[in-house]
Structure 1
């Protein structure tokens, strides 16, 4: 255990990501900055754990980022596959196996055609595919030519995807450990890395959180960071943005010991929706470099936009606004830094408006934020944000931010007309007018705004944010319960009503110690198409036969349901130990008639569900 006293708890802290790619955007940048600040300000070693098989050599990536000044010399990057393929047999024997009795997989192994001594083949990845091209098996060999791991995905019926078996091998070919799910292997690796020491694991990636919400260890405090507006990603306009892993993370936030959100507004919104609980805290993004006095006079017509060229960032709005500015005779010039799937479409848009002389695409540049040192303004035209890091970096450099007033972040950072400009969301004409305003302000007024932007950015320095994180992490450790989970065996619907006020449910709870002190329960609904999620707190009371839960889903929640939505209904029980989620049995119970286009029904499996009827208007 650490003995120093600093801003952070005196235990090892690990960060968990999927990958640190060669080029990356704001979320990975934030993780690198946060881990570096923790390491440097608290004078400690930090490890970033990555799980992707596509991760390049983590030692090389660590060195590259450190040499570029983007990662502290006290931070190192590790990867599960690099770790385990390079581990000795003795080290691998300490890897927790999910299966106590290992299955024989010898008949399915893929042998490389190396033409001689296996030591000569080096690292090899072999795959077996189905007739349709689906990967059914991946075998990985070590540098010395020995088989390291075999991953089969056609265990149920050979030749067809279904069932999984992952096996690690000693160098003599004997199996050492097996798992039937990749998440179980990830958990085993993190156990292997952390060992038995008390630690904090910061999951700084939403998809990775979907694989680690159920990673609960008495000696490890887990913290999930929310970077984005996942509620909006459920909407019809953003359908498909919320992946299965992100959905799993977002609908299990109580399973983490703590959840970090980026702004007070985001926290309040999620609390009101019932998505967050008492384990949340505001952990802002940070500026690693201290803001400084603005540089000399800048050309007020020059701007810089930095961000991924993706649908969320809505850069077509920024380009349309620049077209309007240019049409009115303004000599505006903007450099756009970043890459992404929208790059070609945006280039075509610039060409169709004859803006090539005014808008220049600079591509991905790891030092793109340096452009804020000389640019007069930047534009944020996103559909939604978590907390836009790019605004903090621009303001810290004295570059005036012009941003759509979207959820979340811009209004929490910018004071309109003082240190930047806020524009009604989606209003391209207003966006153009704001750009023109900055371009035409006198230098004295511009200098005043630049100084105000720098002052505002100082609230997000690494020192201030790290101190705040330290307080929250200490509270999370103190709050963490090591008491075994209650025995909640199931829930059964007793009665239900639906009327103008909403839905009223009476549910009998089965299990032991359900009326213990500190116990609470929520009724939870999950959209099958990842299009709806919400919870309401219910009331628990003792009855002659056990514990009864009463809960009301208000009419306002039903009005927010998307058309044709199908929702499954659960009970979330919270108390000592880990939260528990169970379906509600309703077979044999007569359901009320549909009301205002909403119908309750019993599924084939005998559970309570809800659907919005086609064409209904609640």
Structure 2
């Protein structure tokens, strides 16, 4: 037996010793992976959903599924064992972590990591001073920070006490953040691979883990989704799930996209599919120009809590499960129950969750004199079980991706009372049949609905509980995993395009524009651009291939306002027309343009160059011009108000 066989068994969580499984055929043939950044001790809704869906894949298709993680603090074996013991993770699901693997892998595995830079042996001289004895260096991490506490370097040691990776973040000027180099070492202290970004290193690790096999990866973490749209391999299909609203809550300009997810939205086409949880969100994304063919609606699965719809429950007992943060508006639940309590003595509300609004909510409960009836119960991983006894549940968020707690409540026979927000509730609940929809933000209407439910007859409540359970069944995991299988079966594998493209404007024209006030832009006019596309591969000119999801994208500079308009192509010339009304409500500023399309399973977004177009070109308050980099942009100039001042 090879001396490294026991080590490999440990590395792969004894996967080699597992009995081979025969999948049920619900999902297409291949290896399956879920990508999360990490799994915190106390995690929220996205991680909950991800773990449940991953386990559902394993259960419904009788297959092994692996969760890939990147948090250096995570011990994948310990976390996996804990989650399985708590019933949150199926036995067929394994957790892998890049840092854990690097520390444990033998040289033969490390050597398979493909670097993006030529290894520089001088990296060894930058290693931080470590304990002299090997046993004191096992699996440790050393850090170097500047006077302001900013991280400048971190060195990782293997389980045997050898340096395995040095990550320097001050490559431009030592002592100042800027520039990065990650150097991978073998057990002899030799640099064997090197990268200029952590993402490139992560992808090299993923290549080793996937081992060239036909694989499906779903990216759940929003942070990770901003990074891994670049992971394109001929043997891998990559999808991502959008778990929340795509619009910014406090936009600089109306319609701005969610800032922290902007790289994901801008690169939607780089994924083989983006999954929305609701049809309404899919429709809204299509309306602002994102490609319909790339967007698919698949609901989150919900656990069958097997609620007893017939057992008597106190109709005055309600529950809320939510993070205690501003977007969840838990204060609305408290205020509504407090008001309803004036007409319905004995109302009770248990609130499960933690967050930075805990103290202010506790004060609100005290001020409303409801401390005897409204209780902050804190975090509880099994909090959903309260729905088995509660008569009604409340959801008062500003927005949701879908509102999984609504489905969980209905599964338990607990009647949901929910703000009719984007997204989810209206696609789940039939008002007055299996739950109640309340105008968003209307605390008085919420209070009235709570009072109504709390005073309904047991017969009426039982009828609604049955209807809620019946509706929830549509979202149980067999149906949802089957939908995933249908979508994934349509997504192709195959080579990734290696072509390069340029986009040069051939003509720019404002049509129907006038000096109309007060906006200075004729809403009946249009902005038309003709663009010549040229393609090369390995430096040689090639014919322009078929371009899918072709669009002209524009960004309002300095913001996350990003839209696409469909474009058409004849030969190598693309034509795109943007209605002038698109820009009519924007303040002064600059609009930049890119051509966006997919070909060969790859997303391209070349900036539209000004080319030989005679610029600047003026129309009312708009000026098309060439930037210093010779790219096409449009400046929206200030509008003068009636008193002559710039607006």
TM category (shorter chain) comes to over 0.9
Deviations 1:248-306 (A, max 9, x none): 11111111111211111111111121124312221111123364442511111111000
Measured at CA, do residues 121 and 184 of structure 1 come closer, stay the same or move farther in structure 2, by a change above 3 Å? Answer: closer
Measured at CA, do residues 91 and 560 of structure 1 come closer, stay the same or move farther in structure 2, by a change above 3 Å? Answer: farther
User: SS of 1:375's equivalent?
Assistant: coil
User: SS of 1:579's equivalent?
Assistant: strand
Contact 2:414 2:465 in 1 (8 A): yes
Give the match for residue 14 of structure 1: 33
Give the match for residue 108 of structure 1: 126
Q: Displacement of 1:491 after TM fit?
A: 2.7
Give the match for residue 42 of structure 1: 61
Paired residues for 1:72-221 under 5 Å: 72-112=90-130, 114=131, 116-221=132-237
Contact 1:279 1:476 in 2 (8 A): no
User: SS of 1:104's equivalent?
Assistant: helix
| Alpha-carbon distance in 2 for matches of 1:4, 1:299 | 44
Q: Displacement of 1:350 after TM fit?
A: 2.1
Q: TM-score, length-normalised on structure 2?
A: 0.88
| Alpha-carbon distance in 1 for matches of 2:329, 2:584 | 28
Give the match for residue 597 of structure 2: 573
Counterpart selection for 2:52 from 27, 30, 33 = 33
Q: Displacement of 1:519 after TM fit?
A: 4.8
| Alpha-carbon distance in 2 for matches of 1:345, 1:514 | 63
Give the match for residue 282 of structure 1: 297
Structure 2 regions of 5+ residues with no counterpart? 1-19, 514-521, 537-541, 642-646
Q: Displacement of 1:354 after TM fit?
A: 2.4
Measured at CA, do residues 366 and 3 of structure 1 come closer, stay the same or move farther in structure 2, by a change above 3 Å? Answer: closer
Measured at CA, do residues 173 and 575 of structure 1 come closer, stay the same or move farther in structure 2, by a change above 3 Å? Answer: closer
Give the match for residue 604 of structure 1: 628
Give the match for residue 9 of structure 2: none
Query: 264-273 vs 605-614, which deviates more?
Result: 605-614
Contact 1:201 1:222 in 2 (8 A): yes
| Alpha-carbon distance in 2 for matches of 1:441, 1:520 | 52
Give the match for residue 246 of structure 2: 230
Does 2:566 match 1:534? no
Q: Displacement of 1:614 after TM fit?
A: 5.7
User: SS of 1:185's equivalent?
Assistant: helix
Contact 1:496 1:591 in 2 (8 A): no
Tell me the number of residue pairs that the alignment of Structure 1 and Structure 2 aligns.
606
Deviations 1:30-52 (A, max 9, x none): 11111101101111111101111
Give the match for residue 492 of structure 1: 505
Deviations 1:145-166 (A, max 9, x none): 2212111111122222211000
| Alpha-carbon distance in 2 for matches of 1:495, 1:235 | 30
Give the match for residue 557 of structure 1: 582
User: SS of 2:468's equivalent?
Assistant: helix
Deviations 1:107-134 (A, max 9, x none): 321012x2x4233343322222223322
Q: Aligned-residue CA RMSD in angstroms?
A: 2.5
Contact 2:157 2:164 in 1 (8 A): yes
Counterpart selection for 1:430 from 445, 452, 458 = 445
Q: Displacement of 1:232 after TM fit?
A: 4.1
| Alpha-carbon distance in 2 for matches of 1:602, 1:320 | 56
| Alpha-carbon distance in 1 for matches of 2:259, 2:166 | 27
Q: Displacement of 1:18 after TM fit?
A: 0.6
Deviations 1:79-122 (A, max 9, x none): 1111111111211111121224435213321012x2x4233343
Does 2:527 match 1:503? yes
Contact 1:339 1:364 in 2 (8 A): yes
Contact 2:510 2:619 in 1 (8 A): no
| Alpha-carbon distance in 1 for matches of 2:584, 2:377 | 45
Query: 395-404 vs 158-167, which deviates more?
Result: 158-167
| Alpha-carbon distance in 2 for matches of 1:442, 1:58 | 50
Structure 1 regions of 5+ residues with no counterpart? none
Measured at CA, do residues 32 and 556 of structure 1 come closer, stay the same or move farther in structure 2, by a change above 3 Å? Answer: farther
Query: 92-101 vs 12-21, which deviates more?
Result: 92-101
| Alpha-carbon distance in 1 for matches of 2:415, 2:56 | 25
| Alpha-carbon distance in 2 for matches of 1:172, 1:243 | 44
User: SS of 1:278's equivalent?
Assistant: helix
Paired residues for 1:306-385 under 5 Å: 306-328=321-343, 330-385=345-400
Give the match for residue 24 of structure 1: 43
Q: TM-score, length-normalised on structure 1?
A: 0.92
Measured at CA, do residues 421 and 566 of structure 1 come closer, stay the same or move farther in structure 2, by a change above 3 Å? Answer: farther
User: SS of 2:301's equivalent?
Assistant: coil
